[in-house]
Amino acid sequence: MNLRLPTRDEIHRAFLQGEEAIVELFAEVGRQVEALARRLETQAAVLQDVQARLAKTSDNSSKPPSSDGYAKLKRTASLRQPGQKPNGGQPGHLGKTLERVAVPDHTELHPVVACAQCGASLADIEVATHEERQVFDIPAIRIEVTAHRAEVKTCPGCGTENRGVFPVGVTGVVQYGAGVKTWATYFQTQHFVPVERTAQIFEDLLDHRIAEATLMKAGQECAAAIAPATAAIQAQLRQAPVVRFDESGLRVGGKLHWLHVASTERLTDYAVHPQRGQAAMEDAGILPGFTGRAIHDHWKAYFRYTDCTHALCNAHHLRELKFIDEQYGQRWAGTMAKLLVEIKTAVDTAQEAGRTALPTDILAAFEQRYDEVIKVGYARNPRPPPPPPPVGTGGKKRGRPAQTPPLNLLDRLRDFKTETLAFMQDFRVPFDNNLAERDVRMVKVKQKISGGFRTSEGAQGFARIRGYVSTARKNAVNVFAAIREAFAGRPLIPATNPS
């Protein structure tokens, strides 16, 4: 709509017609100005929304770093304040230095046969002492072939032919052993090396090319071998007092699937499913019947489980608050972010002092300040009136009008205050859900390297092995040894009540 101003002739005619004509002429101009102002206000709101969406990055929202694109020159900014930790090893960190061993595996003697000064022979001179230098190195690695020969004997009494018993697992005329399968699984699952490159590693290091199908079969066998460990991990997660949950997209067979993770400081379990919501959570099997505290990022499907209590990730809140502070210029968001960090510092300090809870008066003061910031935020973001019903609908009302990001976040912080501040009331509850996000990130690295999974079975098998590997790492168990023990029929079963 363009503003149409009256021409000189129109003004003159109105003047000749009298006061009423002039008033009507300028009243029309006023109506046009008001309509234009409303349109500009609407366009400004739309423009701000577009600018805000374009400004979202992994730094100020829940978007993944991969969505930032190649044009982002600066790394993702951290929410940590500078100066909190010095660079290098932290106090209490035990460093490791290469030190000599008392009994080396091999000893090479370097004799002195002649004097370096005059050339006299020293062959028969007694050795006064030795100067020793030790070299730590990797010996040459090669494939070893073990031939298992079972004796065949005929009983002289009855004539029965008797055969020796082969070891468990030796079933084929020619086959690969557990060591090769362990290597294959370790490279592919722990270090995310694609199958083709794993075959190349075997050829380069061992001078022995292994078929890609054999390497993939090793993963399938490992997934089956760790089944008891997977069942134990899931059972312990269902009984844990606090469990972190997260989910992320995963490409399987060229289609979008979802990776779901449930984790604690000691346990990790993954599941791959075509869906993101409750159907996937049911199949994963952790949340149904779970009665502890579920930590997540406010995905609505989690709240359908009412046997457990919930807590929200405040790292997400800090990023969203930063976004609103920077893009919308609303200072209440920065105030809320500082308050959340202040509460976290108070909780950390209390825990370091050996306390199990904050004093009642401190809790009340923090809650009051929280409510005051919410009140200021609502004053800054009045709720828009409902839109008029569309023409021709008989007055039927429309659905809920779209809200701005600041108002959406305010509603969440208000309606889920208990879940947001759960870490303040219960010291077992973490401030954020970063542990689960880190566990998800490692599987996403696999996707970045390999581009996705060909089959659902392959993705699910990888997820199960990765959960086993992650659990081993969290329990300070050597990952390679844990995989080797699984192939030997002794998978790692995490202790129920670790000391």
CATH of the domain at 474: 3.30.420
Residue listed under structure tokens 């409902």:
386
Residues 241 and 285 in one domain: yes
Cβ atoms of residues 225 and 491 within 8 Å: yes
- 16 to 11, 22, 487, 493: CA distances (angstroms): 9, 9, 104, 99
Q: Compute the CA torsion angle 90, 322, 243, 441 (nearest 10 deg).
A: -70
Residue 385 gets the label, from left (phi > 0), alpha (psi -120 to 50) or beta, of beta
Residue listed under structure tokens 């046969």:
113
Residues 411 and 350 in one domain: yes
Q: How many domains does the chain have?
A: 3
Residue 397 is predicted with a pLDDT of 61
Domain-located, residue 334: yes
Q: Which of 106, 177, 167, 158 is nearest to 135 (CA)?
A: 106
Residues 379 and 246 in one domain: no
Residues 378 and 440 in one domain: no
Residues 332 and 309 in one domain: no
Domain-located, residue 415: yes
Residues 360 and 443 in one domain: no
Domain-located, residue 261: yes
Residues 414 and 439 in one domain: no
- Dist. CA 294–CA 311, nearest whole Å: 6
Query: How confident is the prediction along the chain (499 residues), in pLDDT tens digits per residue?
Result: 567 777 777 777 877 787 787 778 777 777 777 777 777 777 766 676 766 666 666 555 555 555 555 454 444 455 556 556 666 666 766 667 889 999 999 999 999 999 999 999 998 999 999 999 999 998 888 899 999 999 999 999 999 999 999 998 899 999 999 999 999 999 999 999 999 999 999 999 999 999 999 999 999 999 999 999 999 999 999 999 999 999 999 999 989 999 999 999 999 999 999 999 999 999 999 999 999 999 999 999 999 999 999 999 999 999 999 999 998 899 999 999 999 999 999 999 999 999 999 999 999 999 999 999 999 999 999 987 776 676 666 656 666 667 889 999 999 999 999 999 999 999 999 999 999 999 999 888 888 887 788 899 999 999 999 999 999 999 999 999 999 999 999 999 999 876 5
10 Å Cβ neighbour count for 253? 13
Residues 371 and 471 in one domain: no
Domain-located, residue 54: no
Residues paired with 470 in a beta bridge: none
Q: pTM of the prediction?
A: 0.77
- Residue 362, domain extent: 314-383+404-425
User: What is the gyration radius of the CA atoms in the chain, in angstroms?
Assistant: 35
Residues paired with 162 in a beta bridge: 153
User: Tell me, what amino acid is at 439?
Assistant: D
Residues 418 and 479 in one domain: no
Residues 474 and 442 in one domain: yes
Residues 238 and 268 in one domain: yes
Domain-located, residue 475: yes
Residue 36 is predicted with a pLDDT of 75
Domain-located, residue 190: no
Residues 332 and 293 in one domain: no
Domain-located, residue 252: yes
Domain-located, residue 358: yes
Residue 21 is predicted with a pLDDT of 78
Phi, psi (degrees; rounded to nearest 5) at 71: -75, -15
Helix (H) or strand (E) holding 259: strand 255-263
- Dist. CA 300–CA 310, nearest whole Å: 11
Residue 74 is predicted with a pLDDT of 45
